[in-house]
Amino acid sequence: MLKKLGKTLNITPPLVFMTFFYLVTSASLAFYIISGRAISSASDGIYYVCLVWLLGWWLKEDYLKREEKWGSTMAVGVYIWWPLVIPLYLFKTRGVKAFVSILKFLVIYVGSFIVGVIIGILVLLLSQ
> Is the pLDDT confidence value at 53 over 60?
yes
* pLDDT at position 71: 59
* pLDDT at position 80: 72
Q: How far apart are CA 37 and CA 95, in angstroms?
A: 44
pTM above 0.85, yes or no: no
Q: Name the residue among 15, 12, 24 with its Cα closest to residue 112.
A: 24
* pLDDT at position 116: 78
